[in-house]
Chain A
Amino acid sequence: MTDLLDGRPSGRLLVAGVAALVFVALGVAALVAPESQVGRLFGIVVSASTLAATLRLSVPIVFAAIGGIFAEKSGVINIGLEGLLIISAFTAVFGADLTGSLWLGYLVAVVASTALAGLFAVVCIEFRADQIIAGLAVWLIALGLAPFGSQVIYGGPNTKSVDTLGTVTVPVLSDVPFFGALFDASPAVYLMFLAVAVGWYTLNRTTFGRWVRAAGENPKALDTAGVDVSRVRYAAVLLSGTFSGMGGASLAFSIGQFTGNGPTMVNGKGFIAIVAYLFGNYNPVGALLSTALFAGLDAVQLRLQTTDLYALPDSLVQTIPFVAVIVVLAFVGKTRLPEAAGEHYESGEE
C-alpha cells in the first residue's frame, strides 16, 4: 500500500484518520441509540444508496483527475479540466443523438475533448503561452460553446434526452449488503475503476510513465537522455483530454441529457478534480480515494436535504462537501508539485 500511496502522507493520514474516527464514533453512537438523530445519520452514511450515489458522483471527477495527473506530472498544469468535461458532456449527447448509439456518442465526446486538449497543448507547448491563462481559456471556451451549441441545435441550453448508460448488475455479488452497490452500477463506474488501474500502471510501471514524470521534474535530464520532451508533454496533455472526455460523457449519460444553464451540469467538478489529485498526491488511487471522500459527503448531503433529521436550511447543508474541500486543502499543504510544472521547455536552451 505504501507503494500505491507513495510519498510522505502526514497530512493525508491525519485527514483519513479523522474521517475514520468520526465514522467509528457515529457507528458506536448508532449502536447505542439506533433511533437517535446520530443513529439515523449513521444509517444514511452506511446505506447502499449512499454508496451508489457516491460512485455516480465520483465518476466524472475521477476521470478528470486522472487526466489532470498525466498533464501536470509531465509539467503542463491543465486547469482547463472543467472545460474538457463541459465540452465532452455536450458532444456526448449530441453524438448519441446523431448516431443513435450511446457508445458512438461516447467516442465523439472523447474525440472532442482530446481535440480541445490538443489545442491547449499546442498553445502551451508550441507557443509557450501561460498554462494557467490558457487553461482558463479552455474552460471559458467550453462554457460558452456548449450551451451555445445546444441553443443552436436544440433551441435551449438543455439538450433533448437520450438514453442513459443504465446499470450492469453482477448476480449474487450485488445482493451483498452495502457493498452490493459496487456490483449494481453503471458501466461508467466499472470504467472508472479500470481507468484508475490503467492510469496507475501507466504512470508507475511503463517507460512512457517514467518519461512523463521526468518531463515534469527535470525536462533537461530527459532531453539529455535522448527523449523528446515536447512529444512526451503533448502525449500527456492529449491523455488528459481523453480521460476527461470519458468523464464528461459518463456524466451526461448518467441522466441522458446535457443541461447548460449557469455553470452547466459539470458545475465545478473539473476544479474539484484538481483538488482531488492534489490531495491524492498525483496518484490515481489517491485521487480516487479523495474523490470518494468528497463525493461521499456530497451524497450524504443530498440525502440530508430530503430528510427531516435536522432543521438546517438546505443551502447550508449543500456547503458540506465544499467546507470539507477547504479543510482538506488546509492539510494538503505538503503536496509536492513536479519541479518543472508550469515551466516551458525548449531543447538546447541554457
Chain B
Amino acid sequence: MSRAVHLDGITKRFPGVVANDEVDLTVERGTVHALLGENGAGKTTLMNVLYGLYQPDEGRVVVDGEARQFDSPRDAIDAGVGMIHQHFMLVDPMTVAENITLGNEPRKLLGLTVDRERADREVRELADRYGFDVDPTAIVEDIGVGVQQRVEILKALYRGADVLILDEPTAVLTPQEVADLFSVFEELTAQGKTIIFITHKLGEAMTAADEITVLRGGENVGVVDADAVTREELAELMVGREVLLDVDRRPADVGEERLRVADLSVEDSRGVRAVDDVSFSVRAGEVFGIAGVDGNGQSELVEAITGLRGVQSGGVALDRTDVTDASRRDRIEAGMAYIPEDRQERGLVMDFDLVSNGLLGSQHSRPYASAGRIDWAQTRDHAESIVEEYDVRPPDADATAADLSGGNQQKFVVGRELARDPSVLVASHPTRGVDVGSMEFIHDRIDALRAAGVGVLLVSSKLDEVTSLSDRLGVMYEGELVDVVDPDAVTEEELGLLMAGERPDDVSRVTPTDGGTDR
C-alpha cells in the first residue's frame, strides 16, 4: 500500500490558540481513516489545511508522495483532494446534475450553452460506477439529506478527487442513512479512493474506519487500529481521562407530582394530528424519558408542554396548576426550564453576545430587570458564571453565540436553563451534537437536578441516553404513547419493537402516572 496523504508536523495557530500542534497524519491509499476528537480538538482545522482553506504555519502537506502547497481549495481539488462540508454546498432549486457539474459544465454552441444531455449522461455514468442510486434530473431540494450527501460526494468525484474528506458526515443522517453511507465508503475504497472522515462519535469511528487518529487539544494523541480498540480505550484517548459511559444512579426518591400531561392532543404545522391523546405525569425527583424515532410527535409534545404550540384537547398542569393556556413567560416564572432541541433556532440569538443570551427568558424578572430596566452588571455576572461553571469555550461572555462551536452553544443553553432553579425541566435532545466529555457533564447535571427534587422530562432519540438517565421510559409512535416501561428491565430489542409501534407481551410496564392513585 502507498500513502495517499501524509501530513507532517502541521502546526496552525490562530490569535490566542494553537489549533494544531505538530500534528502528523498518515492515510494509506484505499482505506477509510477516521479523525476522532472532541469539539474543538482541531479536527476541522487540520482538514481545512489539507483542503487548502488554511495555510499551515509549520509542517508539510504530502499528497501522492509529493509535497504540496495548497493556496486555495482549487489547488487541492487539482491535486485530487475533495472535501464534503458538514453544511452542504448545494444549490437547492437546481438539479442533481446541474449541481455536480457547476463550474465545470460540459458545453456546446461556441462554449456558451450548457450541454445538458452530456451533463446528465456523465453524472449518470459516474453514479453507476460507484453504485449510487441518484437521479441526475431530480431537484436537490426534493431529495433526502442522505442523497444530497451522495450528490456532494459525486461532485467531488466529478472533479477528479481521489481523496475524500468528509466533515461530520453522519451528523444530519438517520441511522439507516448512516449505514448506507458506510457501505458507500466500502464501495469507494474498493475502487481505490481514500476516505478521511471527521467524527466525535466513537461507535462510528470503530464501525466505519480501518484506522483511527485521535486528536485532543490540537495534538495527535494516538493512532489506533479500529478493529483492535475498545470503546473505553478510545473514549479515554479522546477525553484524556477515564470516562463513565454509563451514569451510575441512585434509586429515585420521588416526591409529589410536578408535571402532568392529561389526554393531550396536538396538531403539527400542517394540521395533522401529531400527538394523540397522550397522558403521563412526572414527579419530583424522577426523570421521565421519552424515546422514539424522531418525528413521531415528540417535538410537538414538547412544544405543547412548553407553550410554543397550541393544544387541540387535553391539558398540561405544572405543580397541580393548569398551565394549558399559559404563556411562555408564565410557564418560565412558574418554574419550567426548557432545553430546546434546536439551540440555534430556539435556544440562542446567534448574533447576540453571551451576556444577552444569558438573559433570555429572564429579561422580565429580578434580579436582572426591574421597572423595565435591565441591570447589565448583574446580567454580565450571570453569563460569566454560566461560562465558568459549564466550561464554555472560548471563556468570553462578550463572544457572540455564533462564535461558539455547537457543543459549547449547547453547554451555554443548558447552563442558562438549569440556572433558573426550576421545578420542572423539559430537556429535548440535550446532548445533540456535543462531544463525549460534555455529554457526560450534561448527564451529571441532569442527574444532580433529579437528586435535588426536580421533575425532569427527557426527550431523546439516543437510546442509551434515555435508558440510562430515566426512571420511567415512555415510547412514542405516531403520536401515541405506546407504552411506559422500566428502563432498567427493558431490553434494546423490546424497545426497538415498541418504537416500531408494536407491543410485545412481556415488557415490564410501569404506569404512566406512577401510582395513578389520583386517577
Contact = CB atoms under 8 A, between A and B. Distances in A.
Interface in B27-73: 53, 73
A225 B114 CA distance: 16
Contact of B112 (A206, A211, A214, A218): A206
Nearest to B53: A348
A225 B102 contact: yes
21 contacts: A205-B113, A206-B114, A207-B107, A207-B112, A207-B113, A208-B112, A210-B102, A210-B114, A214-B94, A217-B93, A218-B91, A221-B90, A221-B91, A222-B91, A222-B102, A224-B89, A225-B89, A225-B104, A226-B104, A336-B93, A339-B92
A210 B105 contact: yes
B102 A217 contact: no
Interface in B193-214: none
B90 A218 contact: yes
Q: Which 9 A-B pairs have the closest CB atoms?
A: A225-B103, A221-B89, A225-B102, A217-B91, A218-B91, A227-B103, A226-B103, A214-B91, A207-B105
Contacts of A222: 91, 102-103
Contacts of B103: 211, 222, 225-227
Given A217-B93, A225-B89, A226-B104, 19 more contacts: A205-B114, A207-B105, A207-B112, A210-B105, A211-B102, A211-B103, A213-B91, A213-B93, A213-B94, A214-B91, A214-B94, A217-B94, A218-B92, A221-B91, A221-B102, A225-B104, A226-B103, A227-B102, A336-B93
B403 to A, nearest CB: 10
Interface of B: 53, 73-74, 77, 89-94, 98-99, 102-105, 107, 111-114, 116
A213 B95 CA distance: 12
A207 B113 CA distance: 6
A56 interface: no
A346 B105 CA distance: 23
Contacts of A12: none
B155 to A, nearest CB: 8
Nearest to A7: B93
A269 interface: no
Interface in A314-350: 336, 339, 348
Contacts of B94: 210, 213-214, 217
B91 A226 contact: no
Nearest to A339: B92
A233 interface: no
A217 B107 CA distance: 22
A135 to B, nearest CB: 24
B168 to A, nearest CB: 15
A9 to B, nearest CB: 15
Given A207-B107, A210-B98, A210-B102, A226 B93 contact: no
Contacts of A218: 89-92
Nearest to A204: B114
A214 B102 contact: yes
Interface string A195-231: 0000000000111101101100110111011110000
Contact of A221 (B99, B112, B113, B114): B99
| Residue of A206, A222, A348 with highest tally of chain B CB at under 10 A | A206
Contacts of B89: 218, 220-221, 224-225
A343 B144 CA distance: 27
Contacts of B113: 205-207
| Residue of B53, B90, B91, B92 with highest tally of chain A CB at under 10 A | B91
A205 to B, nearest CB: 5
A153 B111 CA distance: 46
Contacts of B114: 205-207, 210
B98 A217 contact: no
A256 to B, nearest CB: 37
A224 B73 contact: yes
Contacts of B112: 206-208
Nearest to A6: B93
| Residue of A214, A224, A226, A336 with highest tally of chain B CB at under 10 A | A224
Contacts of B73: 224
B44 to A, nearest CB: 11
| Residue of A205, A217, A218, A339 with highest tally of chain B CB at under 10 A | A218
B238 to A, nearest CB: 25
